[in-house]
Structure formats: structure tokens, C-alpha cells
């Protein structure tokens, strides 16, 4: 294969124990096998992270990858992915963000970090690669850290940094990039902290060139025009992820936000208090902020009106709304955004930190724990309680030290039976996605390797047959498969649809493209054939929609193989106990608990759709051999 | 569109997407490369969470950056406002 366009063609390897820095080529095998970004990361994780490795040991490996389209003018091609072994679950850790595309300008597609530095350091990845002392930055929050690194290097750098939570090995610690985007879930911040790695800064002077510039610009210009003309555009830009709120207030997803730790439905009045008009009313100044190359701008710069002491860059307003307004039952946008500021500065995932807080408040309110357990704290659904607990978790102080061990480990240390109140999927906090009101689509969260991909099927389930046929055609689905999904007795065949949604969205993700706001939320679907054309114009590699989908399927299965090797089994593909035992009243409708047998049926059907063993979810030996033969 | 006017910057409208930077380097460099160090416009984060936008001394006001900005942060002097 000629040197492909768009790819940098190199993997950077840094060992923090020895200080060695080296590069290796990005192989044709990995490119053709797994596309790039998340897909290749999955393969590298399986290769480099030995089974049974403790996630916070120096032997764990941190992998950062940028898809081939990152660094070009493809609208929305800003996604980079971190992959590792998660200290939250012990399974694969995967998290994406949109501000580390500078890795490509430094001349790398992937970064592999091994070992542990003897004292705090940060990585400067530019035309030169250096391991720099970070002793003077250690202890700073994520915003202060970004400023400190910029002051030392330059503001051209993309800076991904941990805060106090990562330094203190809080399981749900995140990595915040340029103050905006986070590698949020699965504990990447703790993995970095365990390596004494405070930050990764990237910028360089390398070219990103495409194979067929004329064709590439023609295709991507057309894509950008389509995005700008899309009817949802002005609102999607201004409100970003909040555009989904309507469905949770009185739409199809009503009741799915977990109010007071999913004990009850918040009620329309409370839900409306999160409304878009209130979001606007409290802001003195608002900015639409974008990821690299994206014309949408769905992130926010928000300066609140006095007396609220909040000015913050924020990536996703929906996350704190459902976490702090929903699970933690705080009222009003100022408290929701202040909670978000705490999490962002401390470097913690909103959903999981919020789920830990809401679990704790419920335990206290029910008398399962008391002030002796909480170190004197009285827990209630109040903003000051939430802020205090977030701080205590990040600094591992008092009761927070227990919560810092995450939703899998902490409950057993709190009280007998506390696990019932820890709502999570494979360790990631469940604050949205209650399956009682909307069973069939949210159930996808159960089986997903890592939460975050569940939305890929949810956005389809409510569509009309005609709309879904259009979507499936663009996803490259053969007509016989479409018929099987659409004509399934009792409604669409969700598990089979999920398989296709995963492969399609994982293709887009592995290319380095934003899935959420172009694919999921806009109603714009360029289609797999367009992505194949863009990929060929960028790289010079002839491909097709089916070939890209096969590569994405390999990446998806690689993650599953990683989890299976770490002991994952069918029992991990399950629903929090609360949803199996308690009904949920939403307005006048009483939604019964989810039936375990229905979950089991869907899990089995999903395993079959993916070609895994129908009982265990195991990959066949030939499939595993196929995946691991690709180097 | 006439491209003789200087590039005018509306800093608060800048979303930090860098489409202007990428377009500038791609269209004005002989390498046809996406590379911020080859661009004649620079976008960097400020202290608050917004962006500084600076033109290089070697900017020729060709207007490519204006064409690729979808946030109204760049305008060419003499360009009529869009109705």
C-alpha cells in the first residue's frame, strides 16, 4: 500500500518508567482491519494490556487515538479516543473527546503510554516529544492546569489534563481537554493519575494531506452545506444536547431521567424547569463553541447573571441536567451548572459522580446510613450537599473516600444491601435510561461494551417505518435484513437493529467523526456510501460501505474479546436491581418493573445478531483468531 | 465577491472550530495541507473559555477564511451584510 493520505502513519510510544520515547509505523494491517481511532485503539488495547492487569498499576496501558479524518475539513471530524483497562469495571475503558485532534499535527495517529513516572510529569507531544516535570502543576484543577501548560508551552497546544480526582485515583476521574471536552467515563483520569501523568499536550507543524484534494473538498463542502441547511441547525447550535430534553419532558422518553436516584418521576413541572427558556434566562452571556472543523458549535460558553457566580465552558448541558437536576434533584440551572463546574474542575465524570451522590442521599434519607457513616454530613437533595460530596469524593475525604471507589466497589463498603441503590451499567452511573417507561430501546444500554453507544439505536426506535427504511438503506443494510427487522412480530427487532447501528456508528467514530450531532441528532445521515467516498478521497484507499462496516464490526468485537478475557460474562449484561423490582409511575401511567426474562431474551437475541454464542456471548475461536491475526 | 478588503474579526462570535485555519493552510499552501503552522490566521483559547483570533502579517486578505467560517466571526471589509 502506498503511504495513505490523511493518516499520520505513526504511533508514538512513551514509557514513563524508563523515560523512553519511540515511534513505530501504523501498519496497513491495522488500517484495513480496524480503520483508525477507536477501532485501532481496541486492537492495541487487546495486544498491549495483558489479562488480569490491575487497572491502576504501572502495567496498565493508556492509548490515545485520532481517526484518519481528524485534522481535515470534514465537518465534525474532531473525535479522538482514549482506551485502557477501566478502574471502574475492570473491563475495557473507552472514552472520546473532541479537542485532541492536534495529535495529527504533531505527526501521530496513536499514542501508547506505558509504565509510571517516578514523579508527576506531563507529555509535550510536538515536533519534539518531551516528558516534562509537572510537580508545580500537580494539585491544580483542570482549568488551572490547562492555563499552566499553556503558559509553559503555548496556547496552540491542545491540553488534556487530570484534576484532583485523577491525582487521587478516584475511579470515575475524567480527563478534561482545553477546559471543554472530557474523556469522561470509565476512569481515564485515574489511569493517568496512577502513572503520575498530569497532562498530555499536543501540537506540531506536520502536514495532514489528503490523497485527492479536489474530490475531498468537493465532498466535504457539500456535507458542510447540508449541515448548515438542516432545519434543526439554529437550535442545535444554541442549545446543543439540551434539544433532547423535550422527549424526556413529554415525549417518548418521558420518565427515563432518573429523578432522586430513579425513585420516581420528577413530574412535568420540575422537568419544565430545566427548559430551554430557563437556560437562556439565566445567562448574561452565551457563546456557541465548536470542536475542530465542526460547523455546528453545540458546546457552550455560559456566563450567568448575578448573583450566580458561574462562568463556565461546558461541553454538554444535558449531562449535568439529567445528573444534577434529575438524579440529584437540584432545582434551577444555576445549581446544575455550578455542580457541573465542580465536576469539570475536579475532573470527574458527571453521570457516575452524580449517581454516587444520589445513591448516598437516598441511603441517608432511608436511614440505611446515618451521620456516623457520613462523617457527620446530613444528606439531602440540596445543592450545598452535592457540592460538598463532589469535593469530598475528588479529594477522598471522609465519606467521599469510600464513594471514590466507584459504583461497583463502594456500596459494599458503605452498608449491607447498599448495592441495590447503586444504579450503573458496568460501573457507569445510570442517571438517564430508566428502561421502565421505554423498555425496548434503552435496553441496548444493558449489552453495550461501554456505555455511550447505546444511543446509536435509541434514536432509531421511534422512527416511522419509512424513515427507518431510509436510515437502514443509508447504513448499508441488505434488504433481507431490513425486512427481518421491520417485520419482526411485536415491533422492530431491536437487537438486530442495534447490531447495525453499532457497526455504522462505530465506523463513523473510528473515522474520527462526531457521531452524536451529525448522525444521531440532526436527522442528517450522509450514509455509509458517502463515508466510503470521503475515506477514499482522504486516504487514497479504495473501500466500500460494506468493507467499512466489516472493519467497524471487528473493532466492536475486539472490545468484546477484551472484556471476555477479563472475565466478563452474561451476568454483566444486566439491569440495575431497582428496575427489575420497582414500578415507576409517570403521570397516570404505572410502568411495571422490567421483567428479567424479557432482558434475557433481548440479550440472547443481541448475542445472536452479533454472531456471538447465544448463551455466553463468547466470540467463536475462528473470529478471535481472525481479529488477533491482524497486526 | 470582491476579496480586496481586510479581514475583520468579531472575536465573540468565534466558536474555536479552526475551519478558517484549516482552510487557509489548505488553499494557500503549495502543499495543499491542513496544517495550522502554515495558516495565516491563528485561533487560540483565551483565559475564559473563548478565543483569540489573529491574522498573520503575511495574510493577503484572500477571503478563504471568511468563506469557511460558519459562525459569522470573519467578514471581509466592503462585504455587504447578508440580509
Between A200 and A322, residue with greater pLDDT:
A200
Contact status of A483 with chain B (Cβ, < 8 Å): no
Q: Please tell me which residue of chain B has the smallest CA distance to A157.
A: B44
Cβ contacts of B52 on chain A, cutoff 8 Å: 155
Cβ contacts of A537 on chain B, cutoff 8 Å: none
pLDDT in tens, A578-623: 999 999 999 889 999 999 998 899 899 999 999 999 999 999 999 9
Give the helix/strand (H/E) hosting A318: helix A318-320
Instruction: Copy the grid coordinates of residue A351.
Output: 453521570
Interface test with B, best of A67, A297, A312 (most B CBs within 10 A): A297
Nearest to B31 among A207, A290, A292 (CB): A207
Instruction: Copy the grid coordinates of residue B5.
Output: 478588503
In the predicted structure, residue B83 carries a pLDDT above the cut 50: no
| Distances, alpha carbon A312 to alpha carbons A100, A164, A177, A386, A392, in Å | 20, 18, 14, 18, 21
**Gap from B45 CA to chain A (nearest CA, Å):** 6
For residue A602, what pLDDT is reported?
87
Nearest to A147 among B32, B33, B47 (CB): B47
In the predicted structure, residue B81 carries a pLDDT above the cut 60: no
Q: CB–CB of A63/A41 below 8 Å?
A: yes
Q: What confidence category does residue A522 fall into, taking pLDDT thresholds of 50, 70 and 90?
A: low
Name the least confident of A34-43, A156-165, A573-582, B19-28. A573-582
Q: What confidence category does residue B3 fall into, taking pLDDT thresholds of 50, 70 and 90?
A: very low
Q: What confidence category does residue A437 fall into, taking pLDDT thresholds of 50, 70 and 90?
A: confident
Contact status of A222 with chain B (Cβ, < 8 Å): no
Name the least confident of A90-104, A617-631, B2-16, B29-43. B2-16
For residue A144, what pLDDT is reported?
97
Tell me if B49 and A287 make a contact (CB, 8 A cut-off): yes
Nearest to B34 among A71, A203, A291 (CB): A71
Cβ contacts of B34 on chain A, cutoff 8 Å: 71-73, 207-210
Cβ contacts of A287 on chain B, cutoff 8 Å: 12, 15, 49-50
Tell me if A105 and B50 make a contact (CB, 8 A cut-off): no
Q: What confidence category does residue A272 fall into, taking pLDDT thresholds of 50, 70 and 90?
A: confident
Between A4 and A525, residue with greater pLDDT:
A4
Residue A471 burial by CB count (10 A; 0-12/13-18/19+): exposed, middle or buried? buried
For residue A465, what pLDDT is reported?
86
pTM above 0.90, yes or no: yes
**Gap from A207 CA to chain B (nearest CA, Å):** 5
Instruction: Copy the grid coordinates of residue A171.
Output: 475511579
Q: Residue A214: CB partners within 8 Å, gap ≥ 6? A: none
Interface test with A, best of B49, B52, B56 (most A CBs within 10 A): B49
**Gap from A296 CA to chain B (nearest CA, Å):** 8
- Average pLDDT over all residues of chain B: 91
| C-alpha to C-alpha distance for A524 and A227, rounded to whole angstroms | 7
For residue A235, what pLDDT is reported?
87
Name the least confident of A24-33, A467-476, B61-70. A467-476
Interface test with A, best of B26, B52, B67 (most A CBs within 10 A): B26
Q: What confidence category does residue A249 fall into, taking pLDDT thresholds of 50, 70 and 90?
A: confident
Q: What confidence category does residue A462 fall into, taking pLDDT thresholds of 50, 70 and 90?
A: low
Tell me if A292 and B26 make a contact (CB, 8 A cut-off): no
CB contacts < 8 A (A, B): 90
Instruction: Copy the grid coordinates of residue B43.
Output: 485561533
Instruction: Copy the grid coordinates of residue A267.
Output: 413530574
- Average pLDDT over all residues of chain A: 92
- Can you tell me whether residue A22 is helix, strand or coil? strand
- Can you tell me whether residue A435 is helix, strand or coil? coil
For residue A517, what pLDDT is reported?
60
Tell me if A301 and B50 make a contact (CB, 8 A cut-off): yes
Its sign, for the CA torsion A375, A376, A380, A383, is negative
What ipTM, to 2 d.p.? Answer: 0.94
Q: CB–CB of A117/A17 below 8 Å?
A: yes
Q: What confidence category does residue A454 fall into, taking pLDDT thresholds of 50, 70 and 90?
A: very low
Tell me the angle at which helices A494-511 and A528-539 cross, rounded to the nearest 10 degrees: 20
Tell me if A290 and B35 make a contact (CB, 8 A cut-off): no
Nearest to A292 among B17, B50, B68 (CB): B17
Query: Mean pLDDT, to the nearest integer, of A35-64?
Result: 98
Cβ contacts of B44 on chain A, cutoff 8 Å: 154-156
| C-alpha to C-alpha distance for B67 and A607, rounded to whole angstroms | 48
Residue A360 CA neighbour count, 13 Å, CB half: 33
Residue A449 burial by CB count (10 A; 0-12/13-18/19+): exposed, middle or buried? buried
Name the least confident of A131-135, A234-238, A417-421, B71-75. A234-238
Nearest to B49 among A156, A295, A301 (CB): A301
Contact status of A150 with chain B (Cβ, < 8 Å): yes
Q: Please tell me which residue of chain A has the smallest CA distance to B16.
A: A290
Tell me if B34 and A209 make a contact (CB, 8 A cut-off): yes
| Distances, alpha carbon A473 to alpha carbons A256, A453, A520, A603, in Å | 29, 20, 16, 25
Tell me if B34 and A207 make a contact (CB, 8 A cut-off): yes
Q: What confidence category does residue A63 fall into, taking pLDDT thresholds of 50, 70 and 90?
A: very high
Cβ contacts of A5 on chain B, cutoff 8 Å: none
Cβ contacts of A179 on chain B, cutoff 8 Å: 45, 49
Amino acid at each position: 500500500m502506498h503511504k495513505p493520505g490523511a493518516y499520520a502513519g505513526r504511533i508514538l510510544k512513551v514509557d514513563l518508567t524508563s523515560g523512553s520515547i519511540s515511534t513505530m509505523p501504523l501498519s496497513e494491517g491495522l488500517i484495513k482491519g480496524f480503520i483508525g481511532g477507536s477501532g485501532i485503539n481496541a486492537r492495541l488495547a487487546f495486544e498491549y494490556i495483558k489479562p488480569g492487569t490491575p487497572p491502576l498499576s504501572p502495567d496498565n496501558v493508556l492509548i490515545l487515538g485520532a481517526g484518519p479524518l481528524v485534522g481535515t475539513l470534514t465537518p465534525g471530524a474532531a473525535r479522538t479516543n482514549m482506551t485502557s483497562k477501566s478502574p471502574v469495571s475492570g473491563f475495557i475503558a473507552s472514552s472520546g473527546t473532541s479537542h485532541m485532534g492536534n495529535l495529527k499535527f504533531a505527526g501521530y495517529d496513536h499514542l501508547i503510554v506505558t509504565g509510571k513516572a517516578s514523579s508527576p510529569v506531563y507529555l509535550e507531544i510536538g515536533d519534539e516529544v518531551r516528558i516534562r516535570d509537572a510537580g508545580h502543576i500537580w494539585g491544580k484543577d483542570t482549568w488551572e492546569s490547562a492555563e499552566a501548560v499553556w503558559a509553559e508551552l503555548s496556547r496552540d497546544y491542545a491540553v488534556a489534563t487530570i484534576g484532583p480526582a485523577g491525582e487521587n485515583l478516584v475511579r470515575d476521574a475524567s480527563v478534561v481537554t482545553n477546559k471543554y471536552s472530557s474523556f469522561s467515563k470509565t476512569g481515564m483520569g485515574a489511569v493517568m493519575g496512577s502513572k503520575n501523568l498530569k497532562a498530555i499536550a499536543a501540537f506540531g507543524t506536520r502536514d495532514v494531506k489528503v490523497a485527492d484534494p479536489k474530490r475531498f473538498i468537493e465532498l466535504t463542502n457539500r456535507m458542510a452545506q447540508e449541515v448548515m441547511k438542516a432545519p434543526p441547525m439554529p437550535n442545535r447550535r444554541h442549545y446543543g444536547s439540551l434539544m433532547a430534553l423535550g422527549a424526556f419532558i413529554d415525549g417518548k422518553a418521558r420518565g427515563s431521567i432518573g429523578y432522586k436516584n430513579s425513585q420516581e418521576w420528577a413530574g412535568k413541572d420540575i422537568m419544565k424547569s430545566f427548559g430551554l427558556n430557563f437556560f437562556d434566562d439565566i445567562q448574561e452571556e452565551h457563546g456557541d463553541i465548536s470542536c475542530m472543523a465542526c460547523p455546528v458549535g453545540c458546546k457552550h460558553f455560559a456566563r450567568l447573571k448575578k448573583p450566580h457566580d458561574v462562568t463556565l465552558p461546558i461541553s454538554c448541558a444535558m449531562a449535568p441536567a439529567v445528573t444534577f437536576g434529575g438524579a440529584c434533584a437540584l432545582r434551577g440551572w444555576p445549581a446544575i451548572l455550578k455542580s457541573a463546574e465542580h465536576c469539570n474542575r475536579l475532573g470527574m465524570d458527571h453521570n457516575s459522580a452524580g449517581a454516587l451522590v444520589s445513591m448516598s442521599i437516598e441511603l441517608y434519607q432511608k436511614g440505611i446510613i446515618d451521620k456516623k457513616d457520613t462523617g457527620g454530613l446530613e444528606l439531602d437533595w440540596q445543592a450545598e450537599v452535592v457540592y460538598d460530596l463532589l469535593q469530598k469524593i475528588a479529594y477522598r475525604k471522609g465519606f467521599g473516600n469510600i464513594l471514590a471507589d466507584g459504583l461497583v466497589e463502594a456500596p459494599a463498603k458503605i452498608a449491607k444491601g447498599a448495592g441495590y441503590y447503586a444504579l450503573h451499567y458496568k460501573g457507569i452511573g445510570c442517571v438517564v435510561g430508566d428502561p421502565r417507561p421505554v423498555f425496548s430501546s434503552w435496553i441496548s444500554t444493558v449489552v453495550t461494551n461501554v456505555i455511550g453507544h447505546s444511543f446509536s439505536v435509541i434514536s432509531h426506535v421511534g422512527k416511522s417505518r419509512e424513515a427507518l427504511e431510509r436510515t437502514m438503506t443509508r447504513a448499508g443494510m441488505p434488504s433481507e435484513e431490513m425486512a427481518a427487522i421491520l417485520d419482526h412480530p411485536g415491533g422492530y427487532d431491536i437487537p438486530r437493529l442495534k447490531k447495525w447501528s453499532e457497526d455504522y456508528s462505530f465506523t463513523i467514530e473510528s473515522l474520527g467523526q462526531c457521531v452524536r450531532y451529525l448522525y444521531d441528532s440532526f436527522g442528517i445521515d450522509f450514509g455509509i456510501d458517502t463515508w466510503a467516498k470521503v475515506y477514499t478521497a482522504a486516504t487514497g484507499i479504495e473501500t466500500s460501505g460494506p468493507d467499512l462496516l466489516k472493519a467497524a464490526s471487528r473493532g466492536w468485537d475486539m472490545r468484546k474479546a477484551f472484556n471476555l478475557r477479563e472475565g466478563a460474562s452474561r451476568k454483566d449484561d444486566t439491569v440495575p436491581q431497582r428496575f427489575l423490582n420497582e414500578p415507576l409511575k409517570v403521570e397516570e401511567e404505572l410502568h411495571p418493573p422490567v421483567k428479567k426474562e424479557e432482558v434475557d431474551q433481548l440479550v440472547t437475541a443481541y448475542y445472536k445478531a452479533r454472531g456471538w454464542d447465544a448463551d455466553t456471548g463468547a466470540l467463536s475461536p475462528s473470529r478471535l483468531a481472525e481479529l488477533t491475526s491482524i497486526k | 465577491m470582491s476579496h480586496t478588503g481586510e479581514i475583520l474579526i468579531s472575536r465573540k462570535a468565534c466558536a474555536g472550530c479552526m475551519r478558517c485555519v484549516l482552510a487557509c493552510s489548505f488553499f494557500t499552501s503549495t502543499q495543499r495541507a491542513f496544517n495550522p503552522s502554515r495558516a495565516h490566521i491563528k485561533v487560540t483559547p483565551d483565559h475564559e473559555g473563548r478565543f483569540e483570533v489573529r491574522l498573520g502579517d503575511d495574510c493577503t486578505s484572500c477571503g478563504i477564511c471568511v468563506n469557511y467560517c460558519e459562525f459569522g466571526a470573519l467578514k471581509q471589509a466592503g462585504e455587504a451584510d447578508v440580509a
